[in-house]
Copies of this chain bind each other. A is one copy, B any other.
């Protein structure tokens, strides 16, 4: 187990658990069969998990099962979660960063509960004003980190500065060959636009960016999120959530319209034969499963939330994300970036 990256998986979280979760593990091991530096701590119903592991002939060199007696339901609310979720597969997968050797936790279960329990068990980093939820989003060149996606409905300038440093750290951990370029989401690109909070954050970020943790590109509007000139998009949780969901809805609306058009006439149907590989590539590039996995940033241990409704391939991508987060040394990068704020603004 020396030098192995140890991922704790809530095997019971999400639709079709533990089937898709374990199939995701199997896909991951098959895709990375030369790089055997990964190990899984699996939390949940031992019999169900074992049955799935056997289905894919997964070698016991790669996992240990930790039986957990209960499951967090989708109906559970953050208010009662601490009381009701003790010893659940989710709780134990988080707590394993403290009492076992796990480096990171992955769950496709109830988001609100995952956030509350993670925050309570792992604790917020002392110098972080608020933890945030970061997501991945395709852009013209590669991938954006976007945060906050809904953990904090209202944010002040200090929060937005913390999000910028943490988002830049995440970007650098995931894409070590590229540089983080931070932009604040706003309703105009001029310095005088937007709320007082945004204007204050702008001034602070301009100053702090001289430490070199990231380039600061100032304000950008919603239509520039995907142009690739910036790759760390910072906003409050309300705006970020609306932007993410609006983009998802628009993407679905357009691809549905396209599908309808391409099956509307016999000629259009014939055309699909010729464009099959091109359309497949188009679909693959925008496949939301490739961007599956939101990251809680600002806690003393890293936690990744997979979409509950994703399939085994989507779950595989969130395992890969966990691996890259640890390999890229996210926690030390966050610590290093945050030290620049605190020297600066207090």
- Which A residues fall within an 8 A CB radius of B? 138-140, 150, 153-154, 185, 187, 194-195, 221-227, 235, 237-239, 241-258, 260-262, 264-265, 267-268, 270-279, 281-282, 285-286
Contacts and interface: CB of A to CB of B under 8 A. Distances in A.
Contacts of A286: 254, 257
B239 A238 contact: yes
Contacts of A245: 187, 221-223
Q: Which of A248, A256, A261 has the most CB of B within 10 A?
A: A261
Closest A-B pairs by Cβ, 4 of them = A222-B245, A271-B274, A271-B275, A268-B278
A259 B164 CA distance: 34
A183 to B, nearest CB: 13
A153 B197 CA distance: 12
A25 B258 CA distance: 32
Contacts of A249: 222-227, 247
A281 to B, nearest CB: 6
Contacts of A223: 245-246, 248-249, 252
A269 to B, nearest CB: 8
A255 B252 contact: no
Contacts of A250: 226, 246-247, 250-251, 254
Q: Which of A227, A247, A270 has the most CB of B within 10 A?
A: A247
Given A140-B253, A187-B241, A267-B277, 10 more contacts: A150-B187, A222-B241, A223-B248, A242-B243, A246-B250, A251-B254, A262-B282, A265-B278, A271-B275, A272-B275
Copies of this chain present in the complex amount to 2
Q: Which of A222, A248, A264 has the most CB of B within 10 A?
A: A222
A222 B222 CA distance: 13
Contacts of A264: 278, 281
B261 A281 contact: yes
Nearest to A282: B261
Contacts of A278: 261-262, 264-265, 267-268, 271
Contacts of A244: 222
